[in-house]
């Protein structure tokens, strides 16, 4: 099942290092994947997305990798900064307006 | 900025009272959503709308109703609030490609 808040897995990273956040998805028919960042007290914020016919997409300081063979998605954040502290979660779009499934999330904390 | 405004942002209400949350968008998008976010459950879809007066239920629709009389406004109503409806409520819109949804900043509702 899903879990957020106190039960979230946590990734602790040294400031300046790269962060890798992982997500497993369940439906091989999903055709679009999205990463969100959610800071405390705020709504989820779109970071980057990737279509299922791609295996890599890069944005500003972020890269998403998609491995369809093992149904795995990862978000890489380069040179992690204090402002990157947040909960990150993935979502898969199963091709229907009502079929966007959200992952459980990972809390990223930054060590100075 | 996805042009989504939620109101009220914070509300405390008593059990048994009606509550209406409003979501307003400025982008004229067709699809709008209401989610709730709770520890242990993540984001769950309550209702969504695919046009004026066109709405459908999500996975946790019991105790909630919605209305969409104008493209820009999507209202969520709790007819008789219960303590189990204490939550953070997020409105979202789907961008025209149908791939990605964007969230508002949330409405914190406490039912006492």
Find the mean pLDDT for residues B27-39: 93
Q: Which two tokens stand for residue A21?
A: 């956040």
- Supply the CATH classification number for the domain A5-111: 2.60.40.10
What is the pLDDT, as a whole number, of residue B39? 82
Q: Which two tokens stand for residue A37?
A: 């960042």
- Quote the minimal CA–CA distance from A31 to chain B in Å: 9
CB A5 within 8 Å of CB B41: no
Residue B102 has pLDDT above 50, yes or no: yes
* Rounded (5°) CA angle B60-B64-B67: 120
Residue A1 has pLDDT above 50, yes or no: no
Residue A2 has pLDDT above 60, yes or no: no
Q: How does pLDDT run across A34-67, given as a tens digit for each residue?
A: 999 999 999 999 999 999 999 999 999 999 999 9
CA torsion angle for B84, A45, A9, B34 (degrees, to 10)? Answer: 20
Residues of B in contact with A103 (CB under 8 A): 42
**Domain definitions of chain B by residue range:** 4-111
What is the pLDDT, as a whole number, of residue B31? 94
Q: Which of A32, A92, A97 to mutate to test the interface with B (most CBs of B within 10 A)?
A: A97
CATH number for B4-111 (one of 1.10.620.20, 3.90.105.10, 2.60.40.10, 3.40.1260.10): it is: 2.60.40.10
Closest CA in chain A for residue B6: A43
**Domain definitions of chain A by residue range:** 5-111
- CB of A112 within 8 Å of a chain B CB? The answer is no
């Amino acid at each position: 099942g899903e879990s957020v808040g106190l039960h979230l897995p946590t990734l602790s990273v040294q400031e300046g290092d790269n962060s890798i956040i992982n997500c497993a998805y369940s439906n091989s028919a999903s055709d679009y994947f999205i990463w969100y960042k959610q800071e405390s007290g705020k709504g989820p914020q779109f970071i980057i997305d990737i279509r299922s016919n791609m295996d890599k997409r890069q944005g500003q300081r972020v890269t998403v990798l998609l491995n369809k063979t093992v149904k795995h998605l990862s978000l890489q954040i380069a040179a992690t900064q204090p402002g990157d502290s947040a909960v990150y979660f993935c979502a898969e779009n199963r091709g229907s307006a009502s079929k966007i499934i959200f992952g459980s999330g990972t809390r990223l904390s930054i060590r100075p | 900025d996805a042009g989504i405004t939620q109101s009220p942002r914070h509300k405390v209400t008593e059990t048994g009272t009606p509550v209406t949350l409003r979501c307003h968008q400025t982008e004229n998008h067709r699809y709008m959503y209401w989610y709730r976010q709770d520890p242990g459950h993540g984001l769950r879809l309550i209702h969504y709308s695919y046009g004026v007066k066109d709405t459908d239920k999500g996975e946790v629709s019991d105790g909630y109703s919605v209305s969409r009389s104008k493209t820009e406004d999507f209202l969520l109503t709790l007819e008789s609030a219960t303590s189990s409806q204490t939550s953070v409520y997020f409105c979202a819109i789907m961008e025209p490609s149908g791939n990605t949804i964007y969230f508002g900043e949330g409405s914190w509702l406490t039912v006492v």
